[in-house]
Amino acid sequence: MGPFPLGRPARLAVFASGRGTNLEALLEAFPQGHPLGEVVLVVSDNPEAFALERAKRRGVEAQVLPWRGRRAFEEGALALLAERGVDAVLLAGFMRLLSPRFVVPWYGRLLNLHPSLLPDYPGLRVHERVLAAGERETGSTVHFVDQGMDTGPILLQGRVPVLPGDTPQALEARVLRLEHRLYPKAVRLLLLGLAFPPPSDLEERLGEEAARAFRALSPREKPLYLRAWALLKAWGREDLVGPAFLGRAGLWGRAAFLAAHLLGGSDPALLEEVAELPPEVRAQVEGALRVESSA
């Protein structure tokens, strides 16, 4: 399980290489004094990045680490993060691939935002490729960074339609508007302890049958199950996680999955279903939704 919640405001660093519009959304969502976390540092490999100006306007420390090779950049970044006591690193338009030397010690606390519904369309020129393939839907993915390119476990996804006549520029703008809401929401889930990468010892934690069932899920399905796991743990019912993954945890398992769905995005039909739960169970679901929405 992950290191969050911390019991204090998390100290967040954002790495950005360009305009910094997603940085702006994070700065607005996590300002100084926010009880869940605050952006305390912005790092760029590009001295001309407008992201640096956005940070300075809000009184957030902005540091340039010019790219003189991966090793030199990572050494400087790791030292800076340690000096500033950073708890989580958020990549927002950061156009460099980090090595295992950086990623491994930050795994589970290092997020990236990619403008497609991963695992589809990793890499560059996403919107051109989506249009060329004739897709009718696209979106964005917040994921944990691992040692590959856009391959880490998915934390949260959002979707938008592809409309007739769309250009890559129109699609990029639509996805970007989605990302300005999606990334802060994903960070809230992380800091609340409601999102974490799959543990390596699943069999020990869940039992062999439930672990097999979880491993068989698609990458897009797994975040829902992990949120349900976090909720059952928070409700003092972690012993029901394995049965819940197998559909054998009764009302508490159903409640955890309803809440997990709703934490990913509102749904009137599911909210009606929550209202029909027994009072004790309903109170836990409604409490989880209140905590996330007010964070």
Two tokens, residue 286: 């409604």
Of 34, 114, 143, 180, which is the active-site residue? 114
CA dihedral 43, 9, 280, 232 (to 10 degrees): 50
Residue tagged 């050494």 (tokens): 75
Number of residues written out for the chain: 295
Estimate to the nearest angstrom the gap between the alpha carbon of 278 and the chain centroid.
31
Measured distance CA(22)–CA(4) in Å, rounded: 23
**Residues 42/61, Cβ–Cβ less than 8 Å:** yes
Catalytic status, residue 261:
no
Q: Which residues are catalytic?
A: 114
